[in-house]
């Protein structure tokens, strides 16, 4: 199958279109070798996609769950068959290593398979009734037309997390992916169409943030599921909730990992290096703060420095590369600026990856040490920088871990069951990992954050994913004759 278009287009009502101005999709590892072009949609594009979804909704809503599940199963099989092409395209457009892309492509397919299975599991409930002969039960109806807006950092998996349960539960979708990964998004939409998702049920619109803003502002959109940055998420929330629409937000993080005195550094250090620097630090769950408790600090610092220095930075398509480039020149400027700012505020550079190419959007993974007065100890910098902070007590470790507006993920390294219990109950984050990286999650388990990291909406992934994409209705059914 040809999964790579040279000009990526919109998919609206089953028709592909490349009419209009285009932009370049570049490869952050190879500035002179762009991946292709994509068309730039505007408000009119968003409006026609929403119109197509509204038109397709009644037919899709009344399709049986068996038929919908069969389409998702076919999508999973086609995604599996195209896995290598998708992984290559992911690395070319986003920059992550081919190993990271392959893992992500496999999980995207698995996500469709999981939700095909979930479609067959009843989420209805039955209640006792005080009225003789009466049955009371809930039914689920689809939310309706849903807008799905996704970031570039997991350009295969995050769309799968949202699109699969949305389709499984009978919604019509308009998807606006990030403009750094347009051709990969086109490849995914082509596969879904080939799997049998009917015309208008999945629409893809490409373009800048303003295209997404137009989608969100359309009153025909019943709900929006968004993953991305805090300011964009907050603007979407305000727009959608003002018309009583439903909104799901997965936003930033500033994830801590606490390393207690009894931690096994042979286990902790690889988890911390991978958690902080994997995917070039461009994960919402990346380890941004490493909190060393007491005397373990010096040994941890030394071992972390070795681990970070040894990371191989380069083109993600090259064998043996552990860390690809940042996604864009803009991202590189931002991360470089944040590092310069941290140094000017008194942070010390403990270690940086030894060689990092000059051409392209490469940035050496960097380990800092400092204190909580640093901006980088509070603000999310979306790149491979992590800061080691020292505290003297367990109480201080927990309060520092929680001293952030965010609450996505956190981890603790210890064998002390009391501390582990405390971590699970007191760390204010939607995900708590024990002796494991802050990054990574299982697609059959609910995922999401607390505090400013998420909206207070049903969790993505797992069996809760469908809660966002459906409404619950309570039905009271009595016999139609007098007895
Ligand atoms: P972003 O907010 O810049 O863009 C995300 C998407 O929103 C893109 O498709 C973009 O085109 C669109 N968009 C931009 N402006 C818009 C507007 N005004 N209205 C509607 N849509 C608009 O984020 P990004 O740079 O693509 O992704 C990085 C961010 O995502 C980081 O902050 C990261 O923490 C976050 N993230 C969070 C999670 C999570 O699960 N919590 C997962 C991955 C990434
Ligand atoms: Mn790109």
List per-block mean pLDDT (blocks of 10 residues) for the chain, which spans 483 residues. 72 97 97 96 98 98 97 98 98 98 98 97 94 96 98 98 98 98 98 98 98 98 98 98 98 98 98 98 98 98 98 97 98 98 98 91 98 96 98 98 98 98 98 98 97 93 96 97 91
397 CA → ligand 1 middle, Å? 30
151 CA → ligand 2 middle, Å? 12
What is the per-residue pLDDT for 483?
A: 86
Distance of CA 272 to the CA centre of its chain: 20
Name the residue with tokens 């016999």.
479
* N- to C-terminal Cα separation, the chain: 64
- Cβ of 251 closer than 6 Å to ligand 1, yes or no, is yes
Name, in order, each residue with C-beta under 8 angstroms of 471's C-beta and a sequence gap of 6 or more. Answer: 140, 141, 142, 143
93 CA → ligand 2 middle, Å? 4
Q: Which of 93, 250, 394, 460 is catalytic?
A: 250
232 CA → ligand 1 middle, Å? 7
| Beta bridge partner(s), residue 15 | 12
Instruction: Note if 284 is an active site residue.
Output: yes
324-349: b (≥16 Cβ within 10 Å) or e? bbbbbeebbebbeebbeebbeeebeb
- What are the tokens at 348? 């010390």
- Cβ of 353 closer than 6 Å to ligand 1, yes or no, is no
- Other Cβ atoms less than 10 A from the Cβ of 309: the count is 15
pTM of the model: 0.97
Q: Which of 100, 284, 361, 380 is catalytic?
A: 284
- Cβ of 229 closer than 6 Å to ligand 1, yes or no, is yes
What is the per-residue pLDDT for 2?
A: 44
- Cβ of 382 closer than 6 Å to ligand 1, yes or no, is yes
- The whole-angstrom separation of Cα 73 and Cα 215 is 28
Q: Which domains does the chain have, with CATH numbers?
A: 6-251+455-474 (3.40.605.10), 255-434 (3.40.309.10)
Instruction: Note if 442 is an active site residue.
Output: no
- The whole-angstrom separation of Cα 217 and Cα 174 is 13
Task: Please state the atom number of ligand 1 nearest to the C-alpha of residue 216.
Answer: 20
Ligand 1, atom 31: closest residue by C-alpha? 229
> By the 8 A CB rule, do 274 and 439 touch?
yes
- The whole-angstrom separation of Cα 478 and Cα 247 is 35
Task: Please state the atom number of ligand 1 nearest to the C-alpha of residue 250.
Answer: 41
- Cβ of 430 closer than 6 Å to ligand 1, yes or no, is no
Tell me the CB-side half-sphere exposure of residue 272, using CA atoms within 13 A: 33
- Cβ of 149 closer than 6 Å to ligand 1, yes or no, is yes
Residue 389's nearest CA partner among 347, 339, 417 is: 347
- Cβ of 460 closer than 6 Å to ligand 1, yes or no, is no
- The whole-angstrom separation of Cα 446 and Cα 118 is 13
Cα angle 66-70-76, degrees, rounded to a multiple of 5: 145
3-state helix, strand, coil split of the chain in percent (to 5) is 40, 20, 40
**DSSP count for the chain of H helices, then E strands:** 14, 22
Q: Which of the ligands is closest to the CA of residue 90?
A: 2
What is the per-residue pLDDT for 122?
A: 85
What is the per-residue pLDDT for 4?
A: 60
Mutate to test the pocket of ligand 1, among 96, 180, 232 (most ligand atoms within 8 A of CB): 232
Q: Which of the ligands is closest to the CA of residue 31?
A: 2
What is the per-residue pLDDT for 1?
A: 38
């Amino acid at each position: 199958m040809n999964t790579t278009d040279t000009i990526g287009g919109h998919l609206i009502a089953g028709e592909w279109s490349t009419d209009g101005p285009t932009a370049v999709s570049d490869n952050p590892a190879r500035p002179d070798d762009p991946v292709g072009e994509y068309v730039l949609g505007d408000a009119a594009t968003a409006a026609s996609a929403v119109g197509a979804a509204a038109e397709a909704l009644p037919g899709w809503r009344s399709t049986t769950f068996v038929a919908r599940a069969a389409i998702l199963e076919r999508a999973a099989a086609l995604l599996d068959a195209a896995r290598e092409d998708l992984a290559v395209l992911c690395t070319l457009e986003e920059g992550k290593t081919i190993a990271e892309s392959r893992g992500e492509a496999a999980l995207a397919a698995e996500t469709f398979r999981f939700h095909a299975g979930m479609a067959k599991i009843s989420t209805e409930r039955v209640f006792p009734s005080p009225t003789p002969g009466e049955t009371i039960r809930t039914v689920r109806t689809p939310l309706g037309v849903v807008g799905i807006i996704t970031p570039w950092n997991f350009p295969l998996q995050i769309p799968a997390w949202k699109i699969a349960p949305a389709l499984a539960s009978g919604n019509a979708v308009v998807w606006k992916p990030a403009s750094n990964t347009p051709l990969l998004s086109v490849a995914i939409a082509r596969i879904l169409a080939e799997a049998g998702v009917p015309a208008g049920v999945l629409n893809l619109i490409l373009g800048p943030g303003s295209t997404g803003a137009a989608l969100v502002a359309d009153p025909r959109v019943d709900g929006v599921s968004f993953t991305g940055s805090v300011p964009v998420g907050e603007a979407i929330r305000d727009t959608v909730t003002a018309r009583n629409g439903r909104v799901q937000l997965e936003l930033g993080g500033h994830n801590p990992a606490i390393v207690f005195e009894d931690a096994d550094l042979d286990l902790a250090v690889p988890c911390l290096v991978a958690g902080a620097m994997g995917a070039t630090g461009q994960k919402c769950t990346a380890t941004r703060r490493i909190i060393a408790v007491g005397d373990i600090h010096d040994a941890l610092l030394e071992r972390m420095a070795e681990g970070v220095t040894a990371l191989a930075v380069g083109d993600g398509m090259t064998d043996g590369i552990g860390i690809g480039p940042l996604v864009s020149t803009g991202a590189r400027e931002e991360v470089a600026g944040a590092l310069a700012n941290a140094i000017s505020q008194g942070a010390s550079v403990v270690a940086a990856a030894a060689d990092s190419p000059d051409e392209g959007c490469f940035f050496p993974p960097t380990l800092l040490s400092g204190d909580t007065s640093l901006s980088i100890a509070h603000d999310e910098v979306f790149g491979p920088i992590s800061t080691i902070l020292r505290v003297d007590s367990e109480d201080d470790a927990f309060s520092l871990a929680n001293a952030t507006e965010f609450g996505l993920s956190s981890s603790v390294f210890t064998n002390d069951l009391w501390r582990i219990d405390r971590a699970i109950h007191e760390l204010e984050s939607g995900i708590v990992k024990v002796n494991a990286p802050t990054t990574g999650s299982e697609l059959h388990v609910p995922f999401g954050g607390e505090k400013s990291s998420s909206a207070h909406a049903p969790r993505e992934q797992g069996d809760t994913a469908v809660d966002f994409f459906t409404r619950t209705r309570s039905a009271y059914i009595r016999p139609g004759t007098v007895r």
